[in-house]
Structure 1
Amino acid sequence: MSSNKKVLEVKNLAIDFHTYAGTVKAIRDVSFDLHQGETLAIVGESGSGKTVTTKTIMGLLANNAEVIGGTVELHGKNILKMNDRELQDVRGKNIAEIFQDPMTSLDPTMKIGRQVAEPLMIHQKISKEKAQKRALEMLKLVGIKDAEKRINDYPHQFSGGMRQRIVIAIALICNPEILIADEPTTALDVTIQAQILDLMKELQAKISTSIIFITHDLGVVASMADRVAVMYAGKIVEYGSVDEIFYNPQHPYTWGLLNSMPTLDTAKGELEPIPGTPPDLLDPPVGDAFAARNPYAMKIDEELEPPFFKVSPSHYAATWLLHPDAPAVEPPAEIQRRWKIYQDTFQIDSADLRVGE
């Protein structure tokens, strides 16, 4: 259950990558906040800037990255201004991350008990014996069977799902305030995926950790998130509660993502991919970056970048379609179906489904 207490605030973040081909404008004015105990999902296609955003929060940007502007504030302290020692203190203790591939996150030469215990010895300065005892408790908590026997095993002796549980144990051993989960279930089969997601929700409820969940899988978002930020070409283009994004989406890019997502109602062959490819951020387009792929694009989309329009106190979308002077458009049938569910569930007048301010 989330509270109103902000634990993290990202403001106007802009990041460039200097490459042989030129300067890539990877993150372009991204802002969001995170509240205690909530799960914020950041969704979008590959290359939209999801992982770069979270690497910035962890202070793990590549050497060719340059922060052009903005702040990342943890309890009022700007992470971007911290030195290496301060960042080491924050990582693991305040903010921890679960990466996509558990095998590359674990040291193949070190027993898993030692790997789980290590953050405690570093951040809380407790003895090896006490840390091992806590590590055993955490391994049991994340569902490692026969943990007493297996605490001295090496990573290669575990299945992919078990390795991901071990990575979660390492991330949560110091009870961090923020957990970043970057596509944590991509490499796992569907059954194990569901188990890992249930485990994360269960552990979150116990220790009130806030989660930033990075994914391109909207099905996972529906089951995990409280709020959703939709990213495209280095920018957030829509954000709102999980119900608002799934059932009252406003940005044509969000429409495209939802329209290409299989549901129980989807007939065979009905999925529609978003046409075209994301823009080259070596030379970002003028206006709305999604215009070239947007069947509803207007002339203004090629000339001016849209601001955020308010849909509700918690829901904003950056699309000129929400301007009071924009023509009414008929979105895909799947989006209209979702709007109808939203309208019936929340007893809203159909005229209020799309509101620009």
Structure 2
Amino acid sequence: MVEPILQVKDLQVSFNTYAGKIQAIRGVDFDLNAGETLAIVGESGSGKSVTTKTLLGLNAENAELGENSQILYGGKNLAKLTEKEWEDYRGSEVAMVFQDPMTSLDPTMKIGNQIAEPIMKHHGVEKADALKRALQLMKDVGIPEAEEHINDYPHQWSGGMRQRAVIAIALAAEPKVLIADEPTTALDVTIQAQILRVLKDLQEKNGTAIIFITHDLGVVAGIADRVAVMYAGKIVETGTVNEVFYNPQHPYTWGLLGSMPSTKTESGTLQAIPGTPPDLLYPPKGDAFANRNPYGLEIDHEKQPPLFKVSDTHYAATWLLDERAPKVEPPLEIQRRQAFWQTLQQEGAR
């Protein structure tokens, strides 16, 4: 077995507010292997961004990490780092591409200098050498005529070009793990595809591991190796991209996939997930999805489900997988996906 580059164990994050303690992350576990892409998906407020900001020590001052939480990287528990240690770790080991490139870039600083800055900080090189490396990074991320634009300011560039610059900054110190927090949300579909291609090409070139945060399952299909579905601060299903897309087991995953249009979607059959997520000031004692789950069982309101094993790589936290649970027919769209999964399995066995 290859040792994961990053291991997250029992991650718990709460925020102390005037209203009380918000339990934003409630026991998250996952591994990340070198060179792979793990997509974390879910609705807004499910805990995706809080999870990844915790990996960089970037949560607000009112955040509180659970006593047993572990973020293991290079034999060290990052949950115990001091702020000075975090500064040395960010950028050089793990870097982040934020959602909005305009607020990620300094409007008063030339883009070339912004890319060169982490190179100087983490590699100790002179500015002239750092700028040469910055120029090459601009070319690597697909910025045309980079020599002519290295001294431009962010306001002179389009949204897609600024996002490429943010990716170049994140990669400047050659991190082993790249966190991309919804990096294509504000871009049109053509530019989205280009940015995803840039990330994939750079990953293949450098062997970088990527954690990709998104609510867009269509994006996940084109970039991820594995998928973790989050809901109310927990991972409710995890598996390879094909397992989650074509053999989903959790009703929440069914809802997410049913609300996503595809070329095979019949007119008028897109489904919405009813209700709203629970208030994490007062998390429910049972399954957090119970009140929105049309397939819910009585036990869902009384006890949180464990992660049931579907395969060696596929797990889902739903009582429907308990051997005592009644058989439930998923929505028609999910049945189609599972029929396709059976075809894939049969072809793979030949």
| Common fold: TM-score over 0.5 | yes
CA–CA distance in 2 between the matches of 1:213 and 1:137?
24
Deviation for aligned residue 1:230: 0.4
Give, as a single letter, the amino acid of the residue that structure 1 aligns with 2:7: E
Match of 1:212 in 2: 211
CA–CA distance in 1 between the matches of 2:139 and 2:312?
42
CA contact (8 A) 1:4 1:36 kept: no
Match of 1:73 in 2: 72
Match of 1:192 in 2: 191
CA contact (8 A) 1:40 1:213 kept: yes
Give, as a single letter, the amino acid of the residue that structure 2 aligns with 1:89: D
CA–CA distance in 2 between the matches of 1:234 and 1:84?
25
Uncovered stretches (5+) of structure 2, i.e. residues with no partner: none
CA–CA distance in 2 between the matches of 1:151 and 1:308?
49
Match of 1:20 in 2: 18
Deviation for aligned residue 1:269: 2.3
TM-score, reference length from structure 2: 0.98
Deviates more, 1:69-78 or 1:289-298: 69-78
CA–CA distance in 1 between the matches of 2:34 and 2:4?
6
Deviation for aligned residue 1:267: 2.4
Give, as a single letter, the amino acid of the residue that structure 2 aligns with 1:64: N
Is 1:284 the counterpart of 2:297? The answer is no
Deviates more, 1:138-147 or 1:154-163: 138-147
Match of 1:203 in 2: 202
Deviation for aligned residue 1:295: 0.6
* Corresponding pairs, count: 346
CA–CA distance in 2 between the matches of 1:54 and 1:153?
31
Match of 2:328 in 1: 329
Give, as a single letter, the amino acid of the residue that structure 2 aligns with 1:256: G
Match of 1:253 in 2: 252
CA contact (8 A) 1:40 1:227 kept: yes
Alignment of structure 1 residues 104-119 onto 2, 5 Å: 104-119=103-118
Q: Deviations over 1:289-337 (max 9, x none)?
A: 0000001111111111101110000001111000001000010000000
Identity among equivalent positions (%) equals: 65
Q: Deviations over 1:124-146 (max 9, x none)?
A: 00011100000011111111111
Q: Deviations over 1:5-53 (max 9, x none)?
A: 4110000011111111111010000000100000000000000000000
Provide the secondary structure at the position in 1 that maps to 2:239.
strand
CA–CA distance in 1 between the matches of 2:189 and 2:98?
18
CA–CA distance in 2 between the matches of 1:326 and 1:205?
43
Is 1:4 the counterpart of 2:2? The answer is yes
Match of 1:126 in 2: 125
Give, as a single letter, the amino acid of the residue that structure 1 aligns with 2:159: G
Match of 2:229 in 1: 230
Give, as a single letter, the amino acid of the residue that structure 1 aligns with 2:281: L
Give, as a single letter, the amino acid of the residue that structure 1 aligns with 2:74: H
Alignment of structure 1 residues 341-356 onto 2, 5 Å: 341-347=340-346
Give, as a single letter, the amino acid of the residue that structure 2 aligns with 1:220: V
Q: RMSD value over aligned CA atoms?
A: 1.0
Provide the secondary structure at the position in 1 that maps to 2:192.
helix
Provide the secondary structure at the position in 1 that maps to 2:55.
helix
